[in-house]
Structure 1
Amino acid sequence: MRIGIADTTFARYDMGAAAIDELKKNASDLKIIRRTVPGVKDLPVASKKLIEEEGCEIVMALGMPGPMEKDKMCAHEASTGLIRAQLMTNTHILEVFVHEDEEEDPKELKKLADNRAREHAQNLIKMMFHPRLMEKEAGKGMREGKEDVGPL
């Protein structure tokens, strides 16, 4: 199975490496293809190219938008682009964004980025290899990178 990892130089933590490490720990026979681009708005085309030109069956798009209002707008545009790329290719692209203002303490931000990348990598494995496990988690209020909130 070919897995695409698209990440950015703008991010303050190497979430791509964390995702790749988690994938390799939990699944065998993966061909992981990584493409690093400058920022989050570059992720949609990088993801689409991983699917169309590299034959990836699923892609993780990892980014860390900054705290400014302009950064939030760029993240929204990137997210919209990722959705369009999914629809154009009929392929899942897991958006894994950590916004810099989610945590004030740099150590906590680093921990959040690592956890979110790893937990989304685990979601990818479930989606591709164990879909029934994902179904069992429906409606459970699960959160990637932070504590789960639980079901209602």
Structure 2
Amino acid sequence: MKIIGIADTTFARFDMASAAINELERTGTGFRIERYTVPGVKDLPVACKILIEERKCDIVLALGMPGPMEKDKMCAHEASTGLIRAQLMTNKHIIEVFVHMDEAKDDKELAFLSDSRTREHAINVYDLLFRPEKLRRNAGTGQRQGFADAGPIRSR
């Protein structure tokens, strides 16, 4: 049985892990979920590495909500770099799902974006493990998580 790890933070203003778990349970079977909650985004790389190495997860969703200040953006970049490093160290995918607080105009849009981006990436995680051909079919189609898809570039 495959194990899907979910690392989330207490700093986020939306329970992204619950949305991911709900979507994964609706999407399919053949897996179990390990959840690990940490204070903030800079704690996610080690949480993901622990999920992979100690809790034997096959793939991990890293869920975070960086704040709007310049310092928050720098911390998100550092966290993202750490997540990439953790992937390379473990040879496992860590799907980063960050929703920046300044991506939305108000709390209602922020909640919508957090929920939809998380759910769409949860499906990506499931597809990576169980239906990679679905991702191959979507290659080059301009898929976006959270907002409308960009669509493919039309050749002349």
Q: TM-score band, normalised by the shorter chain?
A: over 0.9
| Alignment of 1:36 onto 2:46 | no
Distance 2:23 2:44 in 1: 21
Letter in structure 2 aligned against 1:17: S
| Paired position in structure 1 for 2:121 | 120
Q: Which consecutive unaligned segments of at least 5 residues does structure 1 have?
A: none
Distance 1:97 1:67 in 2: 12
Helix, strand or coil for the counterpart of 2:97?
strand
Distance 1:53 1:128 in 2: 19
1:36-55 alignment, distance < 5 Å: 36-55=37-56
- Structural RMSD (CA): 0.5
| Paired position in structure 2 for 1:130 | 131
After TM superposition, the runs of 4+ consecutive aligned structure 1 residues lying more than 6 A away are none
Helix, strand or coil for the counterpart of 1:51?
helix
Q: Which consecutive unaligned segments of at least 5 residues does structure 2 have?
A: none
Distance 1:140 1:121 in 2: 19
Letter in structure 2 aligned against 1:136: R
Q: What TM-score, normalized to structure 1?
A: 0.99
Native 8 Å contact 1:19 1:118 kept in 2: yes
| Paired position in structure 2 for 1:144 | 145
1:64-83 alignment, distance < 5 Å: 64-83=65-84
Native 8 Å contact 1:50 1:59 kept in 2: yes
Residue by residue, what CA displacement relative to the aligned partner does 1:114-137 show, whole Å, maximum 9, x if unpaired? 000000001111111111110010
Native 8 Å contact 1:24 1:30 kept in 2: no
Helix, strand or coil for the counterpart of 2:95?
strand
| Paired position in structure 2 for 1:58 | 59
- Give the CA deviation at 1:151: 0.6
Residue by residue, what CA displacement relative to the aligned partner does 1:77-124 show, whole Å, maximum 9, x if unpaired? 000000000000000000000000000211000000000000000111
Native 8 Å contact 1:51 1:58 kept in 2: yes
Distance 2:9 2:106 in 1: 21
| Paired position in structure 2 for 1:12 | 13
Native 8 Å contact 1:116 1:145 kept in 2: yes
